A and B are shown apart, each in its own frame.
Chain A
Amino acid sequence: MDRFQLLKLENLNTSFKIMNSYYPAVDNITMDVFPNEVLAIVGESGCGKSALALSIMGLHNKERSLIKGHIYFQGTDLLSLSVSQLNKIRGKDIGMIFQDPLTALNPLMRVGQQIEESMNYHTSFSKKEKREKTLHLLEQVGIPDPRLTYNQFPHELSGGMRQRVVIAIAIACEPALVIADEPTTALDVTIQAQIMELLKTLQKKSNTGIILITHDLGVVSEMADRVAVMYAGQIVELSAVEQLFNNPLHPYTRSLLNSIPSSSSDDDRLHVIQGIVPSLQNIPRSGCRFSPRIPWIDASHHEDHPVMHEVESNHWVRCSCYKHFYFPNEKVGEK
């Protein structure tokens, strides 16, 4: 692929210190994000999605974590930068939307001031310019009365409005990359629909690349260009969104898709993925990480060192077991 990569992760490995050992939560991830694309990352709770996002932002506690590999952003390896060099990029070229809007905002500071503060670091706008820009941003994210909200405190806003303020801060400096960690999970469907639309508009307007972390496959289907399915620190399937929904291959992807209550299968029983996402100390580090959760599959089908294979153009799947996978209520070899 010769399009210019906005972000390139190479063998990224993020480990956390537990008792006196380090355990990878992000385990050797290699992936790209291009300008003007939405790359979704999906997976159950505890699969390492936030750990990955925070690694890119350089927000993990240095004493308790260890990051290896490369994070090339517009060609520069972020892992080779000093904190002050990184600060020039964070918030300006990379914006982050945190999962919980209330914790991301300062409860004691007026909304307008918080947005302006995010510009202080990176721009030399005058006071007046900052104010105008802030009001414009509030309008852009769909706040009905920007002048009023400018002077309000976070607790005076509804959840949806707070999340929009967080988005306004994330995009204040027109970043080239936005990392959105569950941006709509806490919101009602109607507000979720508005925020999805807003992110799409911004992306088209400024060619922004977006990493969208979510466990809502409906949101993925509406927003994403490409999807990375993550399990126990690894990517198990990576493909264009149409391929992922029309031809999901990895057992984990298929299991996830089968467990959503969808309108087409009103009375069907939902698929339950057996077992749980292993905690960091309990992730099997050799062999297949997902195999304990599909115990009915003949062990001889699993590989010892499952690696990603490109099974059709730009559709990557870890390992080859998908050829043998079936659900307990399916006949063998149906796939």
Chain B
Amino acid sequence: MAFLEVKDLKVYYPIRGGFFKRVIDYVKAVDGINIRLEQGETYGLVGESGCGKSTTGRALLKLTKTTSGQVLFNGTDLTSVSAHKMHELRKDIQMIFQDPYSSLNPKKRIVDIIAEPLRNYEHLSRKEENKVAREYMERVGLSSDSIYKYPHEFSGGQRQRIGIARALTLNPKLIVADEPVSALDVSVQAQVLNFMQDIQKEFNLTYLFISHDLGVIRHMCDRIGIMYQGRLVEEGLSRDIYENPQHIYTKRLISAIPNIDPAHREKQSAIRHQINDEYNKSYKNYFDNDGKAYQLKAISPTHFVALP
């Protein structure tokens, strides 16, 4: 039994229009996705803006209604469990959001922010809450004396750690991290990424790591899924994706990554041109008549590509 198995997940958002605000069409934000996660691994979900990454993450936590498909968490299908059971399971799956500046309530003190998720599950005294808040502040490397401060008194990286501390209090097993460092400077980003790796070891966490930054994904993830228009077009180990991309969309994405060595400028630009030409010429071969990506097919034990 897989730790997490997403089976043919679809999330369609209705588009309403006309006089009666009837549903006139659907945005197929997620259109048939399959993902398997083993405990302790980091799976990267990457793709361009609007391809359905956040929708996938939110659907796992039932923050968005799924249209069809299954999300099996340790064998239990989250899409069909009772509200009562889901309340219990939600402890195990937590989400970290993109923006550390707006995801913490500015009017609340840190102690209340950190203890809040716990309140849904346990009745703790003030004193016990303070103790938990102190403990988790220390675990995320912040001073336990600062639990009475407000979010604005912390830097971006510190706020992101507070958001993580809050997610950790319930002892989750799976963390969906939706662009956790996209709003941060490189230096702060480094701090948060290192920290996420540390707590992963400490708590044996499993990450679904969503990002559009291919450098960050490469640094963090064991396996990577490339998403395009609601579907996966390629999946594989980091080296499969970065050193041996097969789908034309993946190739285009990888070639667009800015090269950090100025000496490779010309070469990089030439590669990009060549891949863009290939993309324009062969785009059709990679998608079916409706413009939809094909099912993933194994080209090696670890590497899957959406080919006809």
Which residues of A are in contact with B by a Cβ distance under 8 Å?
A: 44-45, 159, 188-190, 192-193, 196-197, 215-219, 221-222, 224, 241-242, 245, 255-256, 259-263, 266, 269-273, 276
How far, in whole Å, are A197 and B190 apart by their CA atoms in the complex?
29
Query: Does B144 reach chain A (CB closer than 8 Å)?
Result: no
Q: With A222-B265, A270-B190 known to touch, is A190 a contact of B252 (CB < 8 Å)?
A: yes
Is B260 a contact partner of A221 (Cβ separation < 8 A)? Answer: yes
CB pair A241–B256 under 8 Å, yes or no, is: no
Asked if B256 and A193 sit within 8 Å, CB to CB, the answer is yes
Query: Which 10 pairs between the two chains have the least Cβ-Cβ distance?
Result: A218-B258, A261-B219, A270-B190, A259-B190, A273-B187, A193-B256, A189-B256, A188-B48, A272-B191, A190-B256
Question: Distance (Å) between the CB of A44 and the closest chain B CB?
Answer: 5
Q: Is B65 an interface residue (CB 8 A)?
A: no
Contact B187 A263 (CB under 8 A): no
Would you call B215 and A261 a contact (CB within 8 A)?
A: yes
CA distance A256 to B185 in the complex (A): 10
Contact B219 A217 (CB under 8 A): no
Provide the B191-215 mask, 1 if CB < 8 A to any CB of A, else 0.
1011001000000000000001011
**A264 nearest CB neighbor, chain B only:** B260
Task: Offer 17 A-B interface pairs, CB within 8 angstroms, sorted by A.
Answer: A189-B214, A192-B258, A193-B258, A197-B272, A218-B259, A218-B260, A221-B259, A222-B259, A224-B262, A242-B262, A259-B186, A260-B215, A261-B215, A261-B220, A263-B218, A263-B260, A271-B190
Residues from chain B with a CB closer than 8 A to the CB of A196 are 258
Question: Which B residues are CB-close (under 8 A) to A263?
Answer: 215, 218, 242, 260
Interface centre among A44, A216, A262, A263 (most CB of B within 10 A): A263
Q: Tell me the nearest residue of chain B to A160, going by C-beta.
A: B49
Which residues of B are interface residues toward A (Cβ below 8 A)? 48-49, 155-156, 185-187, 189-191, 193-194, 197, 212, 214-216, 218-220, 238, 242, 252-253, 255-263, 265, 268-269, 272
Contacts of A222 in B (CB 8 A): 258-259, 262, 265, 268-269
* Contact between chains at B212 and A189 (CB < 8 Å): yes
- Complex-state Cα separation, A222 to B265, whole angstroms: 6
Write out the residue numbers on chain A whose beta carbons fall within 8 Å of the beta carbon of B156. 45
- Taken together as a complex, chains A and B put the C-alpha atoms of A218 and B214 apart, in Å, by 12
Q: A245 CA to B261 CA in the complex, in Å?
A: 7
What CA separation (Å) do A271 and B252 show in the bound complex? 30
CB–CB A262/B253 < 8 A: no
Which A residues are CB-close (under 8 A) to B269?
A: 197, 222
B260 touching A245, Cβ below 8 Å: yes
CA distance A224 to B259 in the complex (A): 12
Q: Which residues of A contact B218 (CB under 8 A)?
A: 261, 263, 266
Once the chains bind, are B212 and A188 in contact (CB under 8 Å)?
Answer: yes
- Please determine whether A272 and B187 come into contact, CB atoms closer than 8 angstroms: yes
From B216, B252, B253, B260, contact of A217 by CB (8 A): B260
**Alpha-carbon gap, A224 to B216, bound state (A):** 23
Q: Do B155 and A276 touch (CB < 8 A)?
A: yes
Q: Note all chain A residues with C-beta closer than 8 A to B215.
A: 218, 260-263
Nearest neighbor of B156 in chain A, beta-carbon distance: A45
CB neighbours of B194 from chain A (8 A): 269-270, 272
Q: Report the minimum CB–CB distance from A118 to chain B (whole Å).
A: 27
Cross-chain contact of B253 among A189, A221, A271 (Cβ < 8 A): A189
A270 and B193: CB pair below 8 A?
A: yes
CA A197 to CA B216, docked complex, whole Å: 23
Interface centre among A216, A219, A222, A241 (most CB of B within 10 A): A222
Nearest CB on B from A215, distance (A): 6
Q: How far is the CB of A235 from chain B (nearest CB, A)?
A: 18
Q: How far is the CA of A242 from the CA of B197 in the complex (A)?
A: 32
Closest Cβ of chain B to A36, distance in Å, is 16
* Distance in angstroms between the alpha carbons of A199 and B215 in the assembled complex: 23
Question: Are the C-beta atoms of A190 and B259 separated by less than 8 Å?
Answer: no
Give A42's nearest chain B residue, CB to CB: B186
Residue among B186, B191, B260, B263 facing the most chain A CB atoms (10 A cut-off): B186
Please name all residues of chain A whose beta carbon is closer than 8 Å to the beta carbon of B256 when the two chains form the complex. 189-190, 192-193
- Which chain B positions have C-beta within 8 A of A259? 186-187, 189-190
CA distance A83 to B156 in the complex (A): 38
Interface-central residue, B187, B252, B256, B268, by most chain A CB under 10 Å: B187
Query: Quick check: A215 and B219 within 8 Å, CB to CB?
Result: no
